[in-house]
Structure 1
Amino acid sequence: MKKIITLLAIAGLFVLQSCTTSGYFETAPIARNEVFEVTTSFNSNNNYGRLVTFNPPIYSSDVVLVYRLSGSNSQGDVWELLPETYYFNNGALDFGYKFDYTNRDVDIYMIGSDLQSVTAAFRLNQVLRIVIVPANYAKTINKNSYSDVITALDIKDNQIQKINL
């Protein structure tokens, strides 16, 4: 019996010695405050949506914010926080932008009953900024203001990562 236990112990050592954990560390979530910029068009080919994957994943406690470049003025670019909704004069929904996210990706998409009829200015070449906000900042910053969020996270324009899809 002692020989069998000794043999199993030695075999166990060899098995454990060949194991590595590098795969875990490569996909483990990391704390970060980052901004990604994506230019995309919403059309029937992509079902009026765009999926952006986080690699490596973010912590599930982090918050993801998405802003759409809606224009510019004398003070600079104007960024609108999603969700963003547009209505007809009668109050009915025309179209809008929404998103949802997990710790691995963010799905940005349009909503509406007739998205093909939405003008090209709102569908094509839309510039989106995806901001990952660590949990400790999420409750204290003004999320409605892109400028306030970027200032609070101390993100400079040269740190914004452009993603080509």
Structure 2
Amino acid sequence: MKRLLPLLTVFTVLFTACEGPQGPPGFDGLDGLDGEIIASSAFEIEVDFNSANNFEHIEAYGFEVLPSDVTLVYILWTTDNGQDIWRLTPQTVYFNDNNNLVYNFDFTQDDVRLFLDGTTDFNTLDSDWTQDQVFRVVVVPADNIDGIDVNDINAVLSANDIQSFDFR
């Protein structure tokens, strides 16, 4: 038995070290999309909400949006020492009369709809709340959004290499 074990070990090493003839090559796989750029797009828009437009505005993207893309909408909330303060929508304003106003949005693959929501009577709102409202719409691939604080517009822009906005 003591001599049989080394002999089996030698044969095992010899069989595993042997090579046979080269087999035929496999089939080519499908070509990938070389150099495909997953791009982000953004635009800025100024909106007037009124009863004539049902306190909403629909804007076509003007570029291709994939079903997996994420649309983020920011509203210019205020300016502090010349610095724009952007807030991710929806944004809610609470009034002293227990009513509220919500700047909200929804989107499809073709357009984004900006609209007012809430319990207040929109017709009685001061023009500060309804006129000249500035929004930034940012469309990013879903793969590029993980790990980013989407509440911070600068983090989103930086992570997606967005340098400028299309002003509409």
Q: What is the TM-score with the length of structure 1 in the denominator?
A: 0.73
Is 1:99 the equivalent of 2:108? no
- CA distance in 2: counterparts of 1:50 and 1:32, whole angstroms: 25
1:47 corresponds, among 54, 70, 74, to 54
Aligned residues: 131
Partner of 2:22: none
- CA distance in 1: counterparts of 2:76 and 2:152, whole angstroms: 12
Partner of 2:23: none
Residue segments in structure 1 that go unaligned for 5+ positions in a row:
1-29
Partner of 1:140: 147
- CA distance in 1: counterparts of 2:43 and 2:66, whole angstroms: 17
Other structure's SS at 1:109 match: strand
Is the contact between residue 95 and residue 118 of structure 1 (CA under 8 Å) also seen in structure 2? no
Q: Would you identify which runs of 4 or more consecutive aligned residues in structure 1 move more than 6 Å? A: none
Partner of 1:162: 167
What is the 5 A alignment of 1:105-120?
105-113=111-119, 114-120=121-127
- CA distance in 1: counterparts of 2:105 and 2:135, whole angstroms: 11
Q: What is the TM-score with the length of structure 2 in the denominator?
A: 0.72
Is 1:38 the equivalent of 2:38? no
Partner of 2:76: 69
Name the Cα RMSD after superposition.
Answer: 1.7
Other structure's SS at 1:110 match: strand
- CA distance in 2: counterparts of 1:147 and 1:52, whole angstroms: 23
Instruction: Tell which deviates more after alignment, 111-120 or 101-110.
Output: 111-120
Offset of 1:136 from its aligned partner? 1.0
Offset of 1:55 from its aligned partner? 2.7
Partner of 2:26: none
Amino acid at match of 2:58: L
The sequence identity of aligned pairs, in percent, is 34
Per-residue CA deviations over 1:64-109 (Å, capped at 9, x if unaligned) read 000111111137100011000112346x442111101111111110
Offset of 1:150 from its aligned partner? 1.0
Is the contact between residue 62 and residue 133 of structure 1 (CA under 8 Å) also seen in structure 2? yes
Bigger Cα Rg: 2
Residue segments in structure 2 that go unaligned for 5+ positions in a row:
1-36
